[in-house]
Amino acid sequence: MSELVFFSGTMDCGKSTLALQIEHNRSARGLQALIFTRDDRAGEGKLSSRLGLVTDAVEALPAVDLYDFVVERMSQGGRVDYLIVDEAQFLAPEQIDQLARIVDDLDLDVFAFGITTDFRTKLFPGSQRLIELADRVETLQVEAMCWCGARATHNARTVGGVMVVEGEQVVVGDVGVAAEEIGYEVLCRRHHRRRMTSAAARAGALSPDVLPVTSA
């Protein structure tokens, strides 16, 4: 039976790379994917990996009914064997419902990829709905690492090189950007709680075993 599968993980753990790998493997078997994405770092209508791989995709804007889009594509003779949805955390909850309907009513597999929580450690609405509806939730096995060497579990946003915990939930950026820009970094929970990014650790000449004492 067809499934709605949610592949989740932090930033920088290979989600988009896996999405492209699934598309490559299935296309080699003659299967045709319909790829959706939202706010990819490479620009509108693109699915990109940090390894440098890029492919075209349909931008899943809030006004797009994904179920109707697939039905329209198929009714016009387009072939759709399965769906890949990258940056799924940015989708509206009702669009996740539409993905579930595609699985149930059109009997198509849907592979969704996204991060679970934002820089404030709060669930993205799209990710929350995926967790509620998905047939399977898979945690990516390629673990991103905090600067201290521990497994990274949280996404941090930086502005001007300084970690922030307030602001709009969705601001497109990337890991490893220039200090004066909005950027992101993956951290373990301990260092996210203490707002200790790699830059802050270097500035304070700290090791993973020498941490500031906080009351939080």
Residues annotated as catalytic are 87
Q: Which of 33, 11, 6 is closest to 21 using CA atoms?
A: 33
Residues 6+ apart with CB under 8 A from 97: 129, 133
Q: Which of 108, 110, 112 is closest to 90 using CA atoms?
A: 112
Separation of alpha carbons 28 and 137, rounded Å: 25
At 178, the amino acid letter reads A
Is the distance from CB of 42 to CB of 54 less than 8 angstroms?
A: yes
SS (H, E, C) 12-40: CCCHHHHHHHHHHHHHCCCCCEEEEECCC
C-beta atoms surrounding 68 within 10 Å: 10
Helix/strand/coil percent split, the chain, to 5: 30, 25, 50
How many residues make up the chain in this entry?
216
